[in-house]
Homo-oligomer: A and B are copies of this chain.
């Protein structure tokens, strides 16, 4: 697809412009006096939850968040003496001029530099040439390992996890005795490292020997640090590191006092805001508590998602193994985080409580755009038709069956397959998520959302595949939805190839239907191939149903999508990820880690699999950066 566009450009003579762009891009790199940093590797080091805005796109910049990053970096909280900047709003609409990736020469610590141009409204935005800036992308083929004492000791080499070696490294010639090869790997600074990769020992294992200790020494790696390998699009191996958070005692920068830093952040933004001149910021994903440059689409989507006290929500966090996992929490209050300095700010306006306490600290205040609610998951914009990159439908389904319903630029609710609904129900009744345990007001919210899921154009036998439920109209479908399911066992296939049984103990209590004043426009969709779907889905489920009430079957979010969403900001993969997202969110028990190689396989078994789940999900969650 992209190559076609490029070819056309060459034909109609615009290749000169293209090469000019290339030159300017090169010039930009030379200005920075450093080689361009590989985006996939950068993102791999940044972690699965980090995404950057696209140059030219619109964002909201949150000075509070920026200040938080400074505080986190200096490990000193903000001085109360910091002056107010009356001209500086709590959120500053900006156009992204420039995004460059960086890595500290010494520590390999990654960070991004962004130039932001304050704008008054979305209308005054001028297009900014992208200079061939490819969308940053989280790598698909990668692995990340926490280094052990043996890995970092001078006594030995690096023990490569078997799956990592088989997935990432070039195929070994197993006829050799022992099988071995030389790996040539590049780091963020484009330094070349050569490792001897050998398969030996009893039992046999993959090891990196010669060259490894040099790497450990140069990067000053210790046990507990992480090393990650990725393979870029040219199948080249790249290596990145993540230093563990070594507790350094409040590092003063020796350049600026922390006060001056905070003042500098605010004053620079205030000056830029008043003069409408661009300003430059650094975003340090692994230091900053939260992202503070939020795409407009993501922000607006969050603004039009109803949140209320008592609502339960999900939020993604990174695990130790650099994968994502969702934690569930409850909104305890909606209030200003800093009512004195930043009244009416949306930054961390939600005070929350987490269902789980324990490993890994989670913030007690979050921002609306960080959380997932059932409602927010069903509300997303319509993508442009060309954008279906890398979202490969399952065999037996055409792509359009996973496409977004409707053609206009309005938020719409997709059609759901029956599995989703089953899982939806299951999830909401999963006692692991403490649903209904801490607050009686949770369930009304959830059930109201359940009601608002519109199901139509779905044949009965498809909807009921693998179950003994049958119905004939929307009303009965909703009855179905509201029934009670007893312990539900989903058969899932894990990466190992073995079939595992995941037992979801689900029980539903006190489901009280509620109405939402949300209307829903539904457009046509093509009907799915029933038989394929039915055969692809083989849940061994034991279901019990309980009749529930429902009123509204058509809901329409009061959002004008075209006004809110800049087409540039539209995420890719919306067309297919929506379904996956729903099933993901719904079927995911709150204590289940979303490992990329295992997470979506059960969904796949149920004919809802997506090849690049992390990628698509990331985009879906409001990031324009894939």
Contacts and interface: CB of A to CB of B under 8 A. Distances in A.
19 contacts: A33-B249, A70-B256, A83-B275, A102-B254, A105-B249, A253-B255, A253-B282, A256-B256, A257-B281, A259-B280, A260-B261, A260-B265, A260-B268, A260-B281, A261-B261, A262-B264, A264-B264, A264-B265, A267-B267
A267 B111 CA distance: 25
**A73, A105, A266, A282: residue with the most chain B Cβ atoms closer than 10 Å:** A282
A251 interface: yes
Interface in A88-143: 102, 104-105, 109, 111, 113
A33 B268 CA distance: 31
| Identical subunits present | 2
Nearest to A79: B280
Interface string A537-561: 0000000000000000000000000
A317 interface: no
A261 B264 CA distance: 6
A248 B33 contact: no
Interface in A160-183: none
A277 B81 contact: yes
Given A81-B277, A257-B279, A257-B281, A113 B252 contact: yes
A264 B254 contact: no
Contacts of A191: none
**A102, A259, A262, A268: residue with the most chain B Cβ atoms closer than 10 Å:** A268
B105 A248 contact: yes
Q: Is the interface of A mostly helix, strand, loop or mixed?
A: mixed
Contacts of A83: 267, 271, 275
* Leading 4 A-B pairs by shortest Cβ distance: A264-B264, A267-B267, A257-B280, A260-B268
Interface string A238-258: 000000000011111111110
A268 B277 contact: no
A263 interface: yes
A268 to B, nearest CB: 4
A150 to B, nearest CB: 23
Given A111-B254, A255-B282, 19 more contacts: A33-B249, A74-B255, A83-B275, A102-B252, A113-B252, A252-B282, A253-B253, A254-B284, A256-B282, A257-B268, A257-B279, A259-B268, A260-B268, A261-B264, A262-B264, A263-B264, A263-B267, A263-B268, A264-B267
